[in-house]
């Protein structure tokens, strides 16, 4: 049997693909990765689509060209089964999926895409072997189906890896609130910065890079803000260090889009693993999860934010937090084990 994984971007921007590749290697399955080198950073290969642009955001015509590339590779290589990532890619190869790979493909949805409104996504879901969601919140906007399976954005497989949290968890002399990873959601981060502007005992840090990085740099320079640090891109092996040096992890987002309202970011899982409480804004599925499992502070406004943060720290209950993150990650591991079993059944049948 030969299988293809079809992604819509650079391999380094699709870490979730490794969840499948690990299983495929264990089952000794011959597989290929078909992907789109949007940034022009990968080696030339027969299954990697390249064009003259070097940017992540793309237009309809770019997607159309990539869809034709994928379709040609599927016909040329005659794969037995496929795993397709993303609503947009599924749209451009939907006919091929529905007719040539009926019940022989996994449809993996990591976020929403505006193109969903222009085709019958239910047909793609129904004709899949099963459809994977990275957040249960996506079921709020997807059609009802018995085909859904959850695969959380984490590879944790044991609770033994959890970092222990002690009573002296917080650095009360200089509290660090950190964004670790891609920097996005400009307005809510500006609101955070303004709410904590030049507070002497709080530092807001942004580790990573994103489309809004330069705008934030300009803003803090123009407004003479001295307690915000942007450290730029980092090597993956530095990520643990950043988590351990932080007191709280910034997962702030307004519910101003379907993705913001229903997605669960990587930081949710990593913060729980490293024992770092989260700072979130009310009105999202993410904030509901954080409240349910006592994983951090959820605020409904930025008024007197520093007071709310210090009150949370003063009343921080280590036992309650530890039990909450234990229950949360136990649920995550169970969901991911179920996902792995379904992928193995898909391979073997």
Q: What is the DSSP string of 32-55?
A: EEEEE-TTS-S---TTEE--S---
* Regions in the chain scoring below 70 on pLDDT: 167
**Nearest one of 82, 56, 53 to 70, comparing CA atoms:** 82
Instruction: Note the pLDDT of residue 167.
Output: 63
Domain boundary among 108, 126, 151: 151
- The verdict on 164 and 146 lying in the same domain is no
Give tens-digit pLDDT for 60-102. 999 999 999 999 999 999 999 999 999 999 999 999 999 999 9
Q: Is 290 a member of any domain?
A: yes
The total domain count for the chain is: 2
**Nearest one of 318, 271, 317 to 290, comparing CA atoms:** 271
- The verdict on 102 and 10 lying in the same domain is yes
- The verdict on 106 and 176 lying in the same domain is no
- The verdict on 142 and 121 lying in the same domain is yes
Residue 319 is part of a domain; what is its CATH number? 3.40.50.2000
Domain boundary among 151, 184, 216: 151
Q: Is the distance from CB of 277 to CB of 129 less than 8 angstroms?
A: no
Q: Is 73 a member of any domain?
A: yes
Where in the sequence is the domain holding 274, given as residue range(s)?
159-329
Give tens-digit pLDDT for 138-152. 999 999 999 999 999
**Nearest one of 182, 190, 202, 172 to 259, comparing CA atoms:** 182
**Nearest one of 110, 77, 118 to 259, comparing CA atoms:** 110
- The verdict on 61 and 138 lying in the same domain is yes
Domain boundary among 126, 151, 176: 151
- The verdict on 145 and 177 lying in the same domain is no
CB count in 10 Å sphere of residue 292? 11
Q: Is 338 a member of any domain?
A: no
Q: Is 168 a member of any domain?
A: yes
CA dist list (Å): 222 to 99, 146, 203, 219 = 57, 52, 18, 5
Q: Is 334 a member of any domain?
A: no
- The verdict on 249 and 147 lying in the same domain is no
Instruction: Note the pLDDT of residue 267.
Output: 96
- The verdict on 168 and 306 lying in the same domain is yes
- The verdict on 180 and 121 lying in the same domain is no
- The verdict on 172 and 128 lying in the same domain is no
Q: Is 139 a member of any domain?
A: yes
CA dist list (Å): 20 to 110, 132, 310 = 14, 11, 42
- The verdict on 199 and 278 lying in the same domain is yes
Instruction: Note the pLDDT of residue 140.
Output: 96
Q: Sheet containing 202-207: which strands, arranged edge to edge?
A: 228-232, 202-207, 175-180, 248-250, 278-281, 296-299
Instruction: Note the pLDDT of residue 133.
Output: 98
Instruction: Note the pLDDT of residue 211.
Output: 85
**Nearest one of 46, 122, 54, 124 to 89, comparing CA atoms:** 124
- The verdict on 86 and 178 lying in the same domain is no
Whole-angstrom distance, CA of residue 252 vs CA of residue 190: 11
Q: Is 185 a member of any domain?
A: yes
Q: Which H or E element spans position 83?
A: strand 81-85
Q: Is 342 a member of any domain?
A: no
CA dist list (Å): 301 to 191, 277, 280 = 10, 18, 10
**Nearest one of 146, 154, 150, 144 to 121, comparing CA atoms:** 144
């Amino acid at each position: 049997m030969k299988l293809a994984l079809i992604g819509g971007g650079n391999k380094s921007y699709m870490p979730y693909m490794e969840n499948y590749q690990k299983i495929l290697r264990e089952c000794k399955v011959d597989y290929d990765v078909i992907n789109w080198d949007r940034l022009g950073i990968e080696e030339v290969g027969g299954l990697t689509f390249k064009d003259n642009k070097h940017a992540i955001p793309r237009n309809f015509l770019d997607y159309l060209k990539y869809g034709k590339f994928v379709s040609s590779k599927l016909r040329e290589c005659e794969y037995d089964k496929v795993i397709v990532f993303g609503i947009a890619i599924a749209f451009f190869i939907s006919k091929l999926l529905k007719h040539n790979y009926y019940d022989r493909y996994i449809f993996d949805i990591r976020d929403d895409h505006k193109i969903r409104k222009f085709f019958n996504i239910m047909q793609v879901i129904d004709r899949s072997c099963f459809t994977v969601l990275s957040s249960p919140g996506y079921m709020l906007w997807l059609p009802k189906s018995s085909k859904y399976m959850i695969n959380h954005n984490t590879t944790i497989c044991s609770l033994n890896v959890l970092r222990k949290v002690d009573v002296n968890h917080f650095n009360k002399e200089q509290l660090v609130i950190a964004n670790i990873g891609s920097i996005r959601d400009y307005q809510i981060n500006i609101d955070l910065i303004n709410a904590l502007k030049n507070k002497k005992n709080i530092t807001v840090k942004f580790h990573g890079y994103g489309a809004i990085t330069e705008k934030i740099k300009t803003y803090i320079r123009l407004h003479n803000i001295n307690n915000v640090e942007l450290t730029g891109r980092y090597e993956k092996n530095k990520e643990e260090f950043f988590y351990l040096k932080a007191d709280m992890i910034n997962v702030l987002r307004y519910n101003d889009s379907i993705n913001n309202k229903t997605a669960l970011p990587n930081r949710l899982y990593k913060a729980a693993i490293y024992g770092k409480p989260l700072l979130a804004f009310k009105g999202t599925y993410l904030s509901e999860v954080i409240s349910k499992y006592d994983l951090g502070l959820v605020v409904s406004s930025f008024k007197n934010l520093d007071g709310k943060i210090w009150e949370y720290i003063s009343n921080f209950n280590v036992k309650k937090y530890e039990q909450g993150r234990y229950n949360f990650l136990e649920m995550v591991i169970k969901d991911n084990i179920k996902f792995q079993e379904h992928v193995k059944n898909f391979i073997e049948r």
